[in-house]
Amino acid sequence: MTGRLDGRRILVTGAASGVGREIARVFAAEGAALALLDRNAEGVTQVAAAVGGRAHPCDVSSFTDAAAAVKAAVDALGSLDGIVNAAGILVMKPFEELEPESWHQMLAVNLCGPYNIIRASLQALRQAQQGTIVNIASVSSYLPMPGSSGYSASKAGLVMFTKCLALELGPRIRCNAVCPGVVRTEMTRYIWENPEHSQRAADRTALKRLGNPEDVAYAALYLTGPESGFTTGTEITVDGGFSWH
């Protein structure tokens, strides 16, 4: 590793598993001081111990929870230089079977969660020399698929939210999104655990494989590090060529 994040203090949500956990690992290896949030208290504590970060159990869908966790993170780290919003949930069902509870929960975690964390962190980020926000969205934000109405709506909202924040918070704070395709996490276990479904999904990509959490983590690293200093208000698609052919 090259120490690209030396001296930077980064908050990562959804850090107990999947993409969030891998972002924590990669960012720690690059020298970042980390505040790790997840509603899975045991899981996030284990990840924090493994990477040398600080664990803050938190339900990002609650502004009260988010504000308390952000305050604890700022107190522990001294301030914040960046955020990666990786917490997310997925419920795949045809619209007529999608219960109101699932619809509202996806919006609460996938869209309101980043709002809650960023809003609570704004004062600290404005004190950073170069603040960064990375929101983990999805190719579902612009690629409609059957059964994904609630998830796609939440992620499409997150992408537009990202663009609006880039305009409003610049030039001091940059805000970008990463849009993964099918990545091997608990969220997509129903795909990659089934050989037939996994092969079908891989065959739809140009690279003929499913994504891994580190594929997304390195995109988030780029958008958090100095190499992307003239990049804001955009999204990087990390899907192996799934969505453009």
Domain residue limits, the chain: 9-180+212-237
C-alpha gyration radius of the chain: 17
- Which of the residues in the chain have pLDDT under 50? 245
The predicted structure's pLDDT at residue 189: 56
In angstroms, the CA 218 to CA 87 distance is 17
In angstroms, the CA 86 to CA 63 distance is 16
Contacts (Cβ under 8 Å, ≥6 apart) of 121 = 11, 70, 74, 80, 83
In the DSSP assignment, the letter for residue 16 is T
In angstroms, the CA 5 to CA 59 distance is 26
Catalytic residue, chosen from 151, 190, 218, 222, is 151
pLDDT digits (tens, 9 = 90+) for 164-220: 999 999 999 999 999 998 887 776 656 656 666 677 767 778 888 878 999 999 999
Closest residue by Cα to residue 50 from 70, 19, 27: 27
Q: How many CB atoms lie within 10 A of CB 190?
A: 11
What dihedral angle (degrees, nearest 10) is formed by the CA atoms of 201, 205, 151, 137?
140
The 3-state DSSP class for residue 85 equals strand
The predicted structure's pLDDT at residue 60: 98
Assign domain 9-180+212-237 to a CATH class: alpha beta
The predicted structure's pLDDT at residue 245: 43
CB-CB contact of 171 with 230 (8 Å): no
Whether omega for the bond prior to residue 171 falls within 30 degrees of 0, making it cis, is yes
The predicted structure's pLDDT at residue 47: 98
Q: How many CB atoms lie within 10 A of CB 205?
A: 18
The predicted structure's pLDDT at residue 188: 63
The predicted structure's pLDDT at residue 204: 76
The predicted structure's pLDDT at residue 83: 98
The predicted structure's pLDDT at residue 191: 63
* 218 labelled catalytic: no
